[in-house]
C-alpha cells in the first residue's frame, strides 16, 4: 500500500511540476520564437518601410498652400505674454504656418 501511495505521489509531482513552472521555460512551444522572428523580418520591417516611403512620396507630391488669415475672435487669444522672446510667439513657432493675433509674419 505504501508503494502505491508513493508511486501516485511521484506521478502527481511529475505531472504538476511542469504546470507550476513558467510557460516560457516549460517547453511544448519550442519553435515559437522562430515564427515571431520571421514575422518581424518579413512582415513588420517591410510594413514600416512601406509606410515611411508612402509618407515621403506624399510629402513630395504637392506643395501645400497655407490658408488665408481670418481674424476670428476666439482664436489666438493672448491673456498673458509668453515668457520668451517678444511674448507673442509660442515656443515652437513657425512663421510660415502659425499666425500671430494680427496675421502671418511673412507674406510670400
Tens of pLDDT, residues 5-34: 888 878 787 776 655 455 555 555 678 889
Paired strand residues for 100? 103
Mean pLDDT computed over 32-45: 93
Q: Return the pLDDT at 41.
A: 96
Q: Return the pLDDT at 20.
A: 47
Dihedral through CA 10, CA 12, CA 13, CA 16, nearest 10?
A: 160
Tens of pLDDT, residues 51-97: 999 999 988 887 778 888 898 888 888 889 989 988 888 899 988 88
- What Rg value do the Cα atoms of the chain yield, rounded? 33
Amino acid at each position: 500500500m505504501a508503494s502505491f501511495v508513493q508511486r501516485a505521489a511521484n506521478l502527481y509531482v511529475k505531472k504538476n511540476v511542469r504546470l507550476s513552472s513558467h510557460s516560457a521555460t516549460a517547453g511544448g512551444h519550442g519553435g515559437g520564437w522562430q515564427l515571431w522572428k520571421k514575422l518581424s523580418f518579413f512582415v513588420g520591417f517591410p510594413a514600416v518601410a512601406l509606410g515611411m516611403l508612402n509618407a515621403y512620396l506624399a510629402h513630395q507630391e504637392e506643395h501645400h498652400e497655407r490658408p488665408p488669415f481670418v481674424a476670428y475672435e476666439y482664436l489666438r487669444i493672448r491673456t498673458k505674454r509668453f515668457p520668451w522672446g517678444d511674448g507673442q510667439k509660442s515656443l515652437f513657432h513657425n512663421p510660415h504656418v502659425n499666425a500671430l493675433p494680427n496675421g502671418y509674419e511673412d507674406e510670400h
